[in-house]
Amino acid sequence: MLQPPPAAPGMPEDEIDTPALVLDLDAFEANLDRMAGFLTNSPVKLRAHAKTHKSPVIARLQIARGAIGQCVQKVAEAEALAWGGIPDILVSNQVVGAAKLARLAALQGISKVAVCVDDAVQVGALEQAAAAAGTRLTVLIEIDCGASRCGVQPGPAAVELAKVIAASPHLIFGGLQSYHGSAQHKRGPEERAAAIGHAAEVTRRTVEQLAQQGLGCAIVGGGGTGTFENEVASGVYTEIQAGSYAFMDADYARNEQPPPFRQSLFVLATVMSRAIPGVAVVDAGHKAVAIDSGLPLVHGRPGLHYVGASDEHGKLLVEDGAAPPLGEKLRLVPGHCDPTVDRYDWYVGVRKGRVECLWPITARGGMG
Amino acid sequence: MLQPPPAAPGMPEDEIDTPALVLDLDAFEANLDRMAGFLTNSPVKLRAHAKTHKSPVIARLQIARGAIGQCVQKVAEAEALAWGGIPDILVSNQVVGAAKLARLAALQGISKVAVCVDDAVQVGALEQAAAAAGTRLTVLIEIDCGASRCGVQPGPAAVELAKVIAASPHLIFGGLQSYHGSAQHKRGPEERAAAIGHAAEVTRRTVEQLAQQGLGCAIVGGGGTGTFENEVASGVYTEIQAGSYAFMDADYARNEQPPPFRQSLFVLATVMSRAIPGVAVVDAGHKAVAIDSGLPLVHGRPGLHYVGASDEHGKLLVEDGAAPPLGEKLRLVPGHCDPTVDRYDWYVGVRKGRVECLWPITARGGMG
Last residue of a domain, one of A223, A247, A271: A247
pLDDT band at B2 (very low <50, low <70, confident <90, very high): low
- With contact defined as beta carbons under 8 Å apart, do A334 and A290 qualify? yes
pLDDT tens-digit map of B96-137: 999 999 999 999 989 999 999 999 999 999 999 999 999 999
Using CB atoms, pick whichever of A144, A291, A313 lies closest to residue B292: A291
Give me the residues paired with residue A282 across strands: A271, A314
* Residue B367, pLDDT above cutoff 90: no
Q: Please state the ipTM of this predicted complex.
A: 0.93
Q: Which of chain B's residues have a Cβ under 8 Å away from the Cβ of A1?
A: 1-2, 345, 360-362, 364
pLDDT band at B32 (very low <50, low <70, confident <90, very high): very high
- Asked if the structure places residue A254 within a domain, the reply is no
Domain count of the fold of chain B: 2
Specify whether A190 is located in the same domain as A83: yes
Cβ-Cβ pairs closer than 8 A, A with B, add up to 214
Q: Does B339 sit within 8 Å of A286, measured CB to CB?
A: yes
Specify whether A209 is located in the same domain as A64: yes
pLDDT band at B148 (very low <50, low <70, confident <90, very high): confident
Q: Which of chain A's residues have a Cβ under 8 Å away from the Cβ of B279?
A: 148-149
Q: Does A366 sit within 8 Å of B288, measured CB to CB?
A: yes
- Concatenating the DSSP letter of every residue in B272-295 gives EE--STTEEEES--TTTS--TT--
Q: Does A95 sit within 8 Å of B272, measured CB to CB?
A: yes
Specify whether A226 is located in the same domain as A315: no
Using CB atoms, pick whichever of A73, A118, A273 lies closest to residue B118: A273
Last residue of a domain, one of B209, B224, B247: B247
pLDDT value at residue A169: 98
Specify whether A175 is located in the same domain as A196: yes
- Asked if the structure places residue A75 within a domain, the reply is yes
Last residue of a domain, one of A191, A225, A247: A247
Using CB atoms, pick whichever of A19, A326, A367 lies closest to residue B368: A19
- Asked if the structure places residue B27 within a domain, the reply is no
Specify whether B242 is located in the same domain as B274: no
Calculate mean pLDDT across residues B179-197: 96
pLDDT band at B343 (very low <50, low <70, confident <90, very high): very high
- With contact defined as beta carbons under 8 Å apart, do B310 and B299 qualify? no
Distance from CA of B214 to the nearest CA of A (A): 25
Q: Does B309 sit within 8 Å of A276, measured CB to CB?
A: no
A222: left (phi over 0), alpha (psi -120 to 50) or beta: left
- With contact defined as beta carbons under 8 Å apart, do A187 and A204 qualify? no
- Asked if the structure places residue B254 within a domain, the reply is no
Using CB atoms, pick whichever of A118, A144, A273 lies closest to residue B150: A273
- Asked if the structure places residue B33 within a domain, the reply is no
Give me the residues paired with residue B350 across strands: B24, B355
CA dihedral B116, B120, B125, B126 (to 10 degrees): 30
Beta strands in chain B (DSSP E): 20-24, 45-49, 69-72, 88-94, 112-117, 137-142, 171-177, 219-222, 239-240, 265-273, 279-282, 297-298, 304-309, 314-318, 329-333, 346-351, 354-360
| C-alpha to C-alpha distance for A340 and A292, rounded to whole angstroms | 10
Q: What CATH number corresponds to the domain at position A137?
A: 3.20.20.10
- Asked if the structure places residue B71 within a domain, the reply is yes
pLDDT value at residue A2: 63
Specify whether A220 is located in the same domain as A277: no
Specify whether A216 is located in the same domain as A86: yes
Least CA distance to A181: which residue of chain B? B310
Specify whether A227 is located in the same domain as A91: yes
Specify whether A57 is located in the same domain as A206: yes
Specify whether B64 is located in the same domain as B203: yes
| C-alpha to C-alpha distance for B24 and B353, rounded to whole angstroms | 9
The values of phi and psi at residue B302, to 5°, are -60, 145
- Asked if the structure places residue A277 within a domain, the reply is yes
pLDDT band at B276 (very low <50, low <70, confident <90, very high): very high
Per-chain mean pLDDT for chain B: 96
| C-alpha to C-alpha distance for A279 and B137, rounded to whole angstroms | 28
Specify whether A321 is located in the same domain as A193: no
Q: What CATH number corresponds to the domain at position B355?
A: 2.40.37.20
* pLDDT mean values, one per 10 residues, chain A (368 residues): 84 96 98 97 97 98 98 97 96 96 94 97 97 97 94 98 98 98 95 97 98 98 97 98 98 96 98 96 97 97 97 97 96 98 96 97 90
Closest of B20, B2, B18, B8 to residue B340, by C-alpha: B20
- Asked if the structure places residue A122 within a domain, the reply is yes
* Residue B277, pLDDT above cutoff 70: yes
CB neighbourhood size of B134 (10 A): 10
Give me the residues paired with residue A303 across strands: none
- Side-chain-side CA neighbours of B252 within 13 Å: the count stands at 27
pLDDT value at residue A273: 97
The parent domain of residue A113 ranges over 42-247
pLDDT value at residue B3: 77
Specify whether A206 is located in the same domain as A349: no
